[in-house]
């Protein structure tokens, strides 16, 4: 986008005058933020219109990415960067007496997601736009995103996340895109005047979905613009004036409140499905609104839905939008007169599904009665899908037990993953290991009947946000060494490999890390008051708090060091700071206790300055995308320590790698592929492997035997009972060795402890040899190109969606 500083200035002045009737001298930072964002939005809109015209004219196939979560973070900085306008805005705001960096701080994160899955969706939008694939994302415009975390008395407290005031500027309300959704009631069949079977809804609740569009520009020449459409729920009917006039204000408001509840708040749990009715309504709301919109646009262009699979790929990101399959069937049959067979042929060639978990408690299942009550018509279609599937399997003489395992409805439950596999063209996992595991475990029977359906697309991250924007020092060095091709061709980062023995380059990499650590320490000091020692090694674990991710294993290791130092305060050690960032689902008590444990340990260390010099712990409050952008470039060790087989991929591992941090991790998820890329010398792998986990369970894994026979482990676990900062953690100690109503140590922290500790010691040696360590950092950066979401999106486009890029003009 070529706009001069003066042109930018004029546009901003115009917005200030029009929206606030003020001059820059009178403006607050908030007003400047708003004016600047509106200017950017106008530019995006214009770009989008040009792009859309090209897509329509070329009759390109499009992908529609359905996801309950998009973890967007901040937008202003990203948009300026992608449009190539950062410098112009910077200069212009300086002239007005503002700093662009300070203006960025006025924006709150759009936290419309829990963690990895939502951030992945956002990275994908960036790559789709940059690579210029015709794409549109669909999600919910939650009024409240993921809760804001406060730590009070060392414990997590959840506060509502009011992101909209500053996030709203990016959304274009689309009053022309409004669709009605039916919930509850009864679906009645009747014959119309032509003798055709029709369906009508009786006593159902009708809710309108209103569209808000956020435009996402790609980066560089020839980039496109993707649209993320967010649906907001509102009442279909007008305000109930009658009740109001009669003084019944509650009743007057009731319908509106009920409707708006649907998009009020994001469910704050990941990897755990609780079967709540409101969540099912949210999922249907997203799916129905999106499909109605897709169909309307398709019909405008092609006048028929017969070619839908050739012109549209609908992607279900996890099972959360699984209802897309029966809902598409419903729309095709009930509203567009297709027969079952025609509709099924279209739907099952249009939809694809990505699986993100193998954990039983995360696989979505709905109570059949609730499902029928909330979605009567979709339920009857789902039953028919199930009936026909069972018939087909019987025809193919598939074993009865296997059919029972694969069917959609069984034991009064509707199994969304099974629905997705049956109704999708392709099903993929998110790392090589995970894609193998789903074929061997949860989908093994399906893999026998539909062997060609399963494939892998390893996750990726947008290196433009996670390297170029968040780590400018490192980016400049890379540009100096290999040029800037890697901005759009991440695989060319491998050009850095030739500097692996270049001492000056290695020193500079070390120097940049030091500077980033210093800058982060200053930022933390300023924003929280916590004193980080930039001379210590920054060792970071940032992800949702979950047992399988084993933050507890990390804590056990730290407590071990802590006890060593309390016994022997003069011990010579490599000074380390362990940094944690994690939110726990509000009702996940054990996870919240681990947050408390980390904070209590941190507090206790603060009381002992001599220990703090050598060993420190910091908990980042309210970890989110913006916090990650600050912290990752300053981190040296990337903790990726899930129990093997549990983490589908992980994506922070990729963000750390591209910023030159070294992985300390298990052979799980994408760590395996990271290890293959960097080689054994440039990663620290420990712990049991997937098959060994299985074997250990079969051999009767018993953590209390480990506890009894390993003095170090015993010392650490016993110390949990005494606790830290005056708080005992005997509940966590007994979780590890007795099990609280459950199996003890279900994620095998004690089994992996020894190897973890030994491997961390090996890492100390490497770290204390600066050349060796900086070389490891360099190899990690050089080998990270394949983990760009550009590569992931090209894989999806080629193997799953069969998309072509829009040709440059």
Q: What residues act catalytically?
A: 356, 543-544, 549, 651, 655
Q: Cβ(527)–Cβ(792) under 8 Å? A: no
Buried (b) or exposed (e) across 311-346, using 16+ Cβ within 10 A? bbbbbbbbbbbbbbbbbbbbbbbbeeebeeeebbeb
The least distance separating ligand 26Q from the CB of residue 350, rounded to whole angstroms, comes to 22
Cβ atoms within 10 Å, residue 658: 27
Where on the chain is the footprint of ligand 26Q (CB under 6 A)?
Answer: 114-117, 120, 267, 269-271, 273-274, 279, 356-357, 362, 364, 430, 459, 647-651, 669
* DSSP 8-state secondary structure symbol assigned to residue 805: P
Residue (576 or 649) nearer to ligand 26Q, CB = 649
Q: At what angle do helices 416-423 and 376-395 cross, to 10 degrees?
A: 60
Element (H, E) at 354: strand 351-354
Q: Cβ(671)–Cβ(663) under 8 Å? A: yes
Q: Cβ(333)–Cβ(343) under 8 Å? A: yes
The least distance separating ligand 26Q from the CB of residue 781, rounded to whole angstroms, comes to 21
* DSSP 8-state secondary structure symbol assigned to residue 785: G
The least distance separating ligand 26Q from the CB of residue 658, rounded to whole angstroms, comes to 15
Q: Cβ(787)–Cβ(657) under 8 Å? A: yes
Interatomic CA distance for residues 597 and 92, integer angstroms? 48
Closest C-alpha to 488, from 464, 467, 459: 464
Element (H, E) at 235: strand 225-235
The least distance separating ligand 26Q from the CB of residue 566, rounded to whole angstroms, comes to 36
Residue (576 or 642) nearer to ligand 26Q, CB = 642
The least distance separating ligand 26Q from the CB of residue 67, rounded to whole angstroms, comes to 10
Interatomic CA distance for residues 579 and 616, integer angstroms? 8
Write the burial class of residue 245 (CB in 10 Å: 0-12 exposed, 13-18 middle, 19+ buried).
exposed
**Strand, helix or coil at 38?**
helix
**Strand, helix or coil at 662?**
strand
Q: Cβ(141)–Cβ(171) under 8 Å? A: yes
In Å, what is the CA distance from 490 to each residue of 486, 516, 675, 790?
A: 4, 22, 18, 8
What is the number of helices (H) and of strands (E) in the chain? 35, 24
Closest C-alpha to 171, from 214, 113, 127, 230: 214
Q: Cβ(141)–Cβ(209) under 8 Å? A: no
Closest C-alpha to 706, from 753, 644, 641, 755: 753
Element (H, E) at 605: helix 589-606
Query: Facing residues of 172 across strands?
Result: 213
Query: Facing residues of 229 across strands?
Result: 138, 213
Write the burial class of residue 411 (CB in 10 Å: 0-12 exposed, 13-18 middle, 19+ buried).
exposed
Element (H, E) at 210: strand 205-217
**Strand, helix or coil at 578?**
strand
Residue (591 or 648) nearer to ligand 26Q, CB = 648
Q: Cβ(626)–Cβ(74) under 8 Å? A: yes
* DSSP 8-state secondary structure symbol assigned to residue 48: H
Interatomic CA distance for residues 687 and 560, integer angstroms? 18
* DSSP 8-state secondary structure symbol assigned to residue 768: T
Q: Cβ(375)–Cβ(183) under 8 Å? A: yes
Residue nearest to ligand 26Q (CB): 116
Interatomic CA distance for residues 576 and 581, integer angstroms? 16
Interatomic CA distance for residues 766 and 3, integer angstroms? 48
Residue (146 or 209) nearer to ligand 26Q, CB = 146
The least distance separating ligand 26Q from the CB of residue 209, rounded to whole angstroms, comes to 20
Element (H, E) at 316: strand 312-317
Element (H, E) at 283: helix 277-302
Interatomic CA distance for residues 406 and 616, integer angstroms? 50
Interatomic CA distance for residues 693 and 434, integer angstroms? 15
């Amino acid at each position: 986008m070529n706009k001069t500083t003066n042109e930018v200035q004029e546009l901003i002045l115009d917005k200030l005058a029009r929206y606030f009737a003020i001059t820059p001298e009178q403006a607050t930072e908030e007003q400047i933020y708003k004016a600047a964002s509106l200017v950017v939005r106008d530019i995006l809109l214009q770009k989008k219109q040009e792009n859309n015209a090209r897509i329509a004219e070329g009759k390109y196939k499009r992908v529609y990415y359905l996801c309950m979560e998009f973890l967007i973070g901040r937008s202003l900085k990203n948009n300026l960067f992608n449009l190539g306008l950062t410098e112009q805005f910077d200069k212009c705001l300086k002239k007005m007496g503002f700093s662009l960096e300070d203006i960025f701080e006025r924006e709150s994160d759009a936290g419309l997601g829990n963690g990895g899955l939502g951030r992945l969706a956002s990275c994908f939008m960036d790559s789709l736009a940059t690579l210029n694939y015709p794409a549109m994302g669909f999600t919910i415009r939650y009024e409240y995103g993921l809760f804001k975390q406060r730590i009070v008395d060392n414990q997590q407290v959840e506060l509502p996340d009011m992101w909209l005031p500053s996030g709203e500027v990016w959304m274009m309300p689309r009053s022309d895109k409004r669709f009605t959704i039916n919930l509850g009631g009864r679906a009645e069949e009747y014959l119309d005047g032509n003798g055709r079977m029709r369906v009508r809804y009786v006593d159902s609740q009708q809710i309108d979905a209103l569209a808000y569009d956020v435009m996402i520009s790609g980066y560089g020449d020839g980039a496109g613009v993707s649209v993320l459409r967010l649906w907001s729920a509102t009442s279909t009917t007008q305000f109930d004036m009658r009740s109001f006039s009669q003084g019944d204000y509650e009743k007057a408001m009731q319908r509106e409140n009920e409707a708006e509840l649907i998009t009020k708040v994001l469910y704050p749990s990941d990897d755990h499905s609780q079967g709540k009715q409101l969540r099912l309504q949210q999922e249907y709301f997203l799916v129905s609104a999106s499909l109605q919109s897709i169909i309307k646009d398709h019909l405008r262009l092609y006048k028929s839905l017969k070619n839908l699979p050739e012109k549209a790929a609908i992607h279900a990101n996890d099972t959360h939008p699984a209802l897309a399959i029966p809902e598409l069937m419903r729309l095709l049959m009930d509203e567009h007169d297709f027969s079952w067979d025609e509709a099924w042929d279209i739907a099952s060639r249009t939809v694809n599904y990505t699986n993100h978990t193998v954990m039983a408690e995360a696989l979505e299942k709905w109570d059949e009665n609730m499902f029928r009550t909330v979605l009567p018509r979709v339920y009857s279609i789902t039953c028919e899908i199930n009936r026909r599937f069972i018939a087909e399997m019987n025809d193919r003489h598939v074993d009865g037990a296997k059919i029972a395992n694969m069917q959609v409805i069984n034991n009064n439950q509707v199994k969304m993953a099974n629905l997705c596999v049956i109704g999708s063209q392709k099903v993929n996992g998110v790392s090589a290991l995970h894609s193998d595991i789903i074929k061997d475990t949860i989908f093994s029977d399906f893999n026998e009947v539909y062997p060609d359906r399963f494939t892998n697309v390893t996750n990726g991250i947008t290196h433009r946000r996670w390297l170029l924007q968040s780590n400018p020092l490192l980016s400049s060095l890379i540009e100096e060494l290999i040029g800037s091709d890697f901005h759009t061709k991440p695989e060319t980062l491998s050009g850095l490999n030739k500097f692996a023995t270049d001492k000056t380059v290695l020193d500079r990499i070390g120097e940049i890390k030091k500077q980033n650590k210093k800058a982060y320490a200053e930022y933390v000091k300023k924003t929280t008051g916590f004193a980080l020692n930039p001379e210590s090694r920054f060792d970071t674990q940032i992800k949702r708090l979950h047992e399988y991710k084993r933050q507890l294993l990390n804590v056990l290791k730290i407590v071990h060091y802590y006890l060593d130092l309390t016994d022997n305060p003069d011990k010579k050690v490599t000074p380390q700071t362990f940094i944690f960032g994690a939110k726990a689902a509000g009702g996940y008590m054990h996870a919240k206790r681990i947050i408390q444990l980390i904070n209590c340990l941190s507090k206790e260390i603060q009381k002992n300055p001599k220990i703090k010099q050598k060993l420190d712990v910091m908990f980042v409050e309210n970890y989110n995308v913006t916090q990650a952008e600050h912290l990752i470039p300053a981190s040296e060790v990337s903790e990726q320590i899930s129990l093997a087989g549990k983490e589908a991929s992980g994506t922070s591992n990729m963000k750390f790698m591209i910023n030159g941090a070294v992985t300390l991790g298990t052979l799980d998820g994408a760590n395996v592929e990271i290890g293959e890329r960097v080689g054994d010398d440039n990663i620290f792998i420990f712990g049991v492997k997937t098959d060994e986990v299985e074997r250990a369970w079969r051999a009767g894994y018993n953590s209390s035997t480990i506890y009894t026979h390993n003095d170090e482990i015993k010392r650490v676990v016993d110390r949990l009972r005494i606790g830290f900062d005056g708080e005992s953690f005997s509940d966590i100690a007994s979780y590890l060795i007795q099990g609280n109503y459950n199996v003890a140590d279900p994620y095998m922290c004690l089994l992996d402890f020894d190897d973890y500790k030994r491997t961390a010691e090996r890492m100390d040696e490497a770290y204390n040899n600066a050349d060796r360590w900086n070389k490891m950092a360099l190899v990690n950066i050089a080998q990270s190109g394949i983990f760009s979401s550009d590569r992931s999106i090209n894989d999806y486009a080629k193997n799953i969606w069969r998309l072509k890029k829009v040709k440059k003009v």
